[in-house]
Amino acid sequence: MATKAEVPLETSSISDLATAEAKQISDNLIERDVWTVREALRIAREGKLLVYTSTISIAECLGTDPRSPKIPDKLMRFLDQLFLSGRSGIRLVQTTQAICTSARDIRWVTGIGGIKGNDGIHVATARFMKCGELWTRDEVHILSKKDALMELGVRVNQPHDSRLIPLRCH
C-alpha cells in the first residue's frame, strides 16, 4: 500500500485562506496559493493527502486585519470550522515538549538564526510528522532559510510551488 503524501501548513497559508473567505484578496500570487491550499484540503477530505498544522495555528489565525479589534462572525465560524470541526481536511498536531525542544534546537544546535518561536514550531512539526513539504508565505522568517532547512530534511515552499498538488489548469 502506497503511503499518502503529507504537508504541514504554516499559519500564513491558513491566514490567506481566511482572507480569501472574507473576499479581501487582490493579489494573483496569493490567489494561486489559496487555490492550492483549498485543493489540498479537498484531496485530504478524500483521504488521499494528509494536511497538518500545529495547534498554535488556532491562536495565530485571528482574522484578516491584525489592527482590527472586531472579527466578523462569519470569519470566526469559518476559522472554527477549519480548525475544530474535524471535517476540513486539516489535522491538528499537538505542540509537545519534543516539538518545542526541536524548534529551539533549530537555532541552538544547527545555528539557523532568524526563525521566531512559533515559526520554529511549524518547522519542527513538519520534521516530527515527516512531511514532504512545509507550506508558508512567510518570506522573512522561513522561506529565506529554505536552503538551511532543507539540510534538516524540511522542504519549505509557498503552496503554489508544491510538488504534491497537481498544477492548476488554466
Q: Give residue-wise pLDDT tens across range 113-133.
A: 999 999 999 999 999 999 989
| Bridge partners, 109 (sequence order) | none
Torsion of CA 100, 106, 112, 116, to 10 degrees: -10
Better-scored residue on pLDDT, 38 or 69 = 38
The residue ranges of every structural domain in the chain are 5-161
Residue type, 138: D
pLDDT tens digit string along 43-93?
A: 999 999 999 999 999 999 887 666 777 888 888 999 999 999 999 999 999
What was the pLDDT predicted at 170?
A: 28
How confident is residue 169, by pLDDT bands cut at 50, 70 and 90?
A: very low
135 contacts 164 by C-beta, under 8 angstroms: no
pLDDT tens digit string along 95-116?
A: 999 999 999 999 999 999 999 9
CA distance 3 to 61: 30
What was the pLDDT predicted at 15?
A: 86
The topology (CATH level 3) of 5-161 is: Rossmann fold (3.40.50)
For residue 6, what is the enclosing H or E element? strand 5-8
How many angstroms from the chain centroid is the CA of residue 12? 7
pTM of the model: 0.89
